[in-house]
Amino acid sequence: MDPCFDIERFYRTFRDISTLVHSSSDVKEVLELVVKKATEAVDAKGALLRILNLETSQLELSAFYGLSERYLSKGHVSTAKVITDLCRQNKVIIISDVQTNPRVQYPREAQEEGIASMVDLPLTLGHHVVGIIRIFFSDKREFSEEHIYFLVAIAEQSALAIDKARLIEKQQAQYQHLAIQTEKLSALGRMAAGIAHEINNPLGGILLFGSNLIKKVPKESALHDGLEVIINESKRCKRIIQDLLEFSRERPPSKAMANINDIIEKALIILENEFRLKHIQINKDLSEKIPDLLLDSGQLQQVFVNILINAVEAIQEKGVIIVQSSMAFNPERVLVEITDTGSGVSQEQLSHVFEPFFSTKPKGTGLGLALSYGIVRNHDADIHVNSHPGEGTCFIIEFPVPRDNEPPKTEGI
């Protein structure tokens, strides 16, 4: 054992860094502590930590300690060759003389900064180098095996901090996207309600007068055909407005204990004629082991009808719809899957299917799935969709199973 190796001091340093990595959500704070503690633990002049930007492939300065702004202003102190070497060798590299080693990009500036030697530590996740810690010394150092092991351990903790940083950034981006979508849905709901009420009355008058006029016009006349178009299009507008009102109403579910299979069966009965006319085969695989759930049966029936209608329209004619219910691997979740052999949608379209007013159908309103998404989320459930062009679509809904110690509750308006 190297007599200069203070194991207690190194242990405290490692413990402090490890604790902060796993407890702090402020990644910048963690990385700044890493370079400070690493510098102090090996009596170095300073240290800096750079993280590889996945988009630009550049090592970006993320934290430093003990170095002047003048030296740091030189920009990248690691050349492309340094990065390549680190990726290839994936090991600690000791630069015993900054004046003669080709890895040092600015030897004169390093000398002016009082730097005599350096150590490069790769930060790795799996088999990928994600960054570098460079530690600077005012003298030429000899490193024991224990020193190297300690520095490697510090680098491993730093890599964990970087991984955590990327995970946090991803979660924040998802949260921000969800917050924006929620605000958009709320604003659209308020707007839709106002528009729907303004249009509904004059549209009702058009439909009423059109229905009265068509009774007085001979069926063979061109006027009769024109009035039929007016009436049919007015009815279509009424349906769109009804969807808008449903979308904007934000009616809370009125829940009671119910069997999800019974709700699915009722939705299938509603569309029975549609399946027969389009020559669509329905394959059911409904598990008898599913417990009753706390549900608004009417709202969920609407969800299943919406998804099944989408499946029918995607198939158009002569296809198969598979409806399954089962217990998930997690016993506290119930799965309902509706799969069709229709045309499917692209991955780009898939990310928008639950957005209001987005539709892949020429005459679709784009409100059915948006409304269904809201109903499912109000049941504390999750809905997912998988699809590929020409390979059909699968909707998966995961419902929570009430705990045995929680009595059934009914929620009303």
pLDDT 10s digits, 258-297: 999 999 999 998 888 888 888 999 999 999 888 999 898 8
**Tell me, what's the pLDDT at 72?**
81
Q: What is the pLDDT of residue 100?
A: 82
CATH class of the 7-171 domain in this structure: alpha beta
User: Strand 293-295 and strand 93-95: pairing?
Assistant: unpaired
pLDDT number for residue 335: 92
According to the model, what pLDDT value does residue 2 have?
47
Phi, psi of 171 (to 5 degrees): -65, -40
Residue 38 class from Cβ within 10 Å (0-12 exposed, 13-18 middle, 19+ buried)? buried
Architecture of domain 173-249: Orthogonal Bundle (1.10)
CA-to-CA separations, 160 to 14, 125, 138, 148, 308, in angstroms, rounded: 13, 8, 29, 19, 45
CATH topology for 256-400 is Heat Shock Protein 90 (3.30.565)
Tell me what pLDDT residue 283 has: 94
Cα(296)–Cα(262) distance, integer angstroms: 12
Residue-level pLDDT at 395: 92
Give 60's DSSP letter. E
What is the rounded distance in angstroms from the CA atom of residue 274 to the CA atom of residue 305? 11
Nearest one of 242, 249, 240 to 186, comparing CA atoms: 249
Tell me the domain boundaries of the chain.
Answer: 7-171, 173-249, 256-400
pLDDT of residue 88: 55
Low-confidence ranges of the chain (pLDDT < 70): 1-6, 20-25, 54-55, 57, 74-90, 165-166, 169, 178, 181-186, 188-190, 192-193, 196-197, 243-251, 356-367, 404-413
pTM of the model: 0.45
pLDDT at 336: 94
Q: What's residue 354's pLDDT?
A: 77
